[in-house]
Amino acid sequence: MSSLASMASVSKSLIFFLLSTLSIFPTHPHPLDPLTPAEFTKVQSIVNNSYPTSNHSVAFHYVGLEEPDKTAILSWLEGSATKTPPRQAFIIARINQITHEIIADLPGHKIISDEVYGGYGYPVLTFEEQIAANALPFKYTPFLESIRKRGLKVEEVVCTSFAIGWYGEQRRNRRVVRVLCNYLDGSVNLYMRPIEGITVTVDLEEMKILGFVDRSTVPVPKADGTDYRESSQELPFGSLLKGISIRQSDGPTFTIDGHTI
């Protein structure tokens, strides 16, 4: 459980790093440049101004550039436009357990469109709710008993959550995930050691276990031979490649200006 939380923390740090490094404004900003870290912060402020977190439950599931109209971009490229098309953001947020599709005007610091999504499906899962869902089985007595029944160490169990899929149902009123677990204890390759026969379903809105099934006891694969890291490999599976280096003595033959190459 702690390993998964650590993995999620590293993933979030990596995403922020990529956003920070890839979202640098060029000398002349292009209308299709992705949002910058400062603009992400502004999006959060705009939405929270309309839906204060003191009395609203707000979760951001997607934030990205709301692309300008194509004619506006072409006018800007041709030089006939006097200014860059306005920067806008498209947001998918869960507000009070309802999915909203929002368009925010960044220079104006306001929401210009806010529609409730009534179609099939739900937004992508967030790190926070996945971590919370993955932790629930470790506080659930039937699950702990099933782990001990198999002779496994609870502290070596790692759980991950997956969307349960859509199979043509008319409407599903709950956001539900299926939590499946794997076993470490001598291996870093947890996916090679699934704990089969146990399925946990979790309601993400109420963050509680809806269902638990222990349908069969299947032996967990042994840890031997599951370490895929190069440092653990022996010939003929170890590193056989000799070092290689490539350089351009006169420098690169391309230039980068922000997101323009």
Q: What is the CATH number of the domain that holds 91?
A: 3.10.450.40
Domain encompassing residue 97: 31-116
Instruction: Enter the pTM of the model.
Output: 0.76
* Count of beta carbons in the 10 Å neighbourhood of residue 111: 18
Last residue of a domain, one of 52, 86, 116: 116
Q: In the predicted model, is pLDDT for residue 212 greater than 70?
A: yes
Check residue 171 and give its pLDDT. Answer: 65
Last residue of a domain, one of 88, 116, 144: 116
Q: Hey, what are 145's tokens?
A: 């008993």
Residue 260 in 3-state DSSP?
Answer: strand
The b/e string for 226-245 (b: 16+ C-beta within 10 A; e otherwise) is beeeeeeeeeeeeeeeeeee
How many Å apart are CA 94 and CA 61, to the nearest integer?
A: 7
Assess whether 141 and 101 both reside in one domain: no
Q: Which of the two residues, 255 and 2, has the higher pLDDT score?
A: 255
Domain presence at residue 204: yes
Domain presence at residue 252: no
48 membership: H or E segment, kind and range:
helix 37-50
Assess whether 67 and 96 both reside in one domain: yes
The confidence band for 27, taking pLDDT boundaries of 50, 70 and 90, is very low
Domain presence at residue 61: yes
